[in-house]
Amino acid sequence: MADALTIGDRLAAVRTRRGVTQEQLAERARLSVDTVRKLEQNQRRTARLATLNALARALDVETSVLVGQPTVLEPANGAEPPSILALRRAVTPLADIPGLGETDDDVPPPSIAQLRAAIRSTEAVRRRGEFTKITSLLPVLISDARAAVRAHTEGDRAAAQAVLAEAYQIAATTLAGLGKEDAAFTAIEHSIAAARQSDDPHLETMAISCLSWIFTKQGRIDDAERVAVETAARIEPGFRSSPVDLSLWGILLLRGATAAVRAERKDTARDLLCLASAAAARIGTDRLDYATPFGPTNTAVATVNAYVDMGEPAKAIDHAERLPDMSSLPPTWLARHHVDRALAYADMSRDDRAVRALLAADRAAPEWMRYHATSRHLVTELRGRERRRHSPVRDLAMRLHIEE
């Protein structure tokens, strides 16, 4: 079975297909031949993400090919798939229980430079909404960062804590996106703890932003608004504040606005959106800080989302049609905006426009669409209103694996 293959099995298979010897691979990846040999002989069943990235680059494949990428993330026979269980184990490892867990302290920890490169590449995968790749890469990255925290001291340990905090945040957003809000909450708790021991004061702010989103998905709307707004008030930027400070402040305001809309506090939501728009205007350009966009484009997109949630589809469409170029948005943010447009069009009974918007979302982030509950519900609704046997919305439903 494919699921029984080890990293070494996959590595040997790809290397053989490429017609490369172990020595040649080691040289190209700038690793020792002993590392390649031990992996292929299954003397070592795990490897650092930096090592896997180097091997993947040398073989010209995605890292997830070596790790083992699951084909689906849906539960089977009522049980969670192995990919989700692996991510849960990474967030709450047995090693945290004294006397029960084991660590790989005999394996040299990755360097800080390797960890930072790994977190950047993992963030890029997350922005594309590639859940299957993320769930295969994250457990390795979290394990690497934890090992570095244990092994390093002083400045390097604080830097490793920063990577660990970001890795936990990615795990939290991934788990929440897959409907595992309980595990997401645990991951963000770990992120906050790591951020407070890191060398980056901004990481705790980003963790609070993520926590607000998780609270929103849990239905804890008042808590979501409170943590976002109170943290924004605490870090409110001044006249000489840097663009990143303005950006993080604005991100929190948008989280608070989302929660306020869900709580039907429309005036509060509008006030928060106005403050966020002012911050974006002051920055004057679109930014991407800690894998999260903020600037004129994203605040405009957030305003469209707010109008949709407030039940004002005509205003949402009018605002969407006046949006600037959206090329700065990551694929998942762009897809979410297209879904908002689709929701607005569907509310106005303009189903053809709604389907076109959903198709645009599918082109932007196809795997994200497959696991996004709102998108799936809307596609199901529009398919039910479609009279033709063959149509774009029926084809989309098939691609999203939505049963008749």
SS (H, E, C) 42-65: CCCCCCCHHHHHHHHHHHCCCHHH
Q: What is the 3-state secondary structure (H, E, C) of 68-79?
A: CCCCCCCCECCE
* Single-letter residue type at 117: A
d(CA 64, CA 135): 9
Contacts 24+ apart (CB under 8 A), 14-19: 14/59, 14/61, 14/65, 14/66, 15/40, 15/59, 18/59, 18/60
Element (H, E) at 275: helix 266-283
Q: Are 51 and 35 in contact (CB under 8 A)?
A: yes
pLDDT of residue 68: 63
Beta carbons of 168 and 204 less than 8 angstroms apart: no
Apex 262 CA angle, 256 and 268, nearest 5: 50
The pLDDT value recorded for residue 104 is 52
Instruction: Determine the residue type at 246.
Output: L
For the chain, 404 residues long, the average pLDDT of each consecutive 10-residue run is 68 91 91 89 73 84 68 55 82 74 62 92 90 87 91 93 96 89 94 96 96 92 96 92 95 96 93 96 94 94 94 95 87 96 95 96 94 90 86 92 80
CA angle 217, 222, 223 (to 5 degrees): 70
As to burial, measured by CB atoms within 10 angstroms (0-12 exposed, 13-18 middle, 19+ buried), residue 76 is exposed
**pLDDT computed for residue 108 by the predictor:** 73
Ramachandran bin of 292, using left for φ above 0, alpha for ψ from -120 to 50, beta for the remaining angles: beta
Domains and CATH numbers, the chain: 1-68 (1.10.260.40), 330-404 (no CATH)
Residue that is written with structure tokens 């484009």 in the block: 297
* pTM for the structure as a whole: 0.83
Round to whole Å and give the CA distance between 65 and 96: 29
Res 389: pLDDT: 79
What's the confidence (pLDDT) of residue 71?
Answer: 45
C-alpha 10/C-alpha 222 separation (Å) is: 48
Q: Which two tokens stand for residue 266?
A: 């429309």
In order, the DSSP letters of 258-274 are HHHHHTT-HHHHHHHHH
Q: What is the DSSP letter of 310?
A: T
Give CA 242 to chain center in angstroms.
25
Residue 377: count of CB within 10 angstroms of its CB? 12
pLDDT of amino acid 2: 41
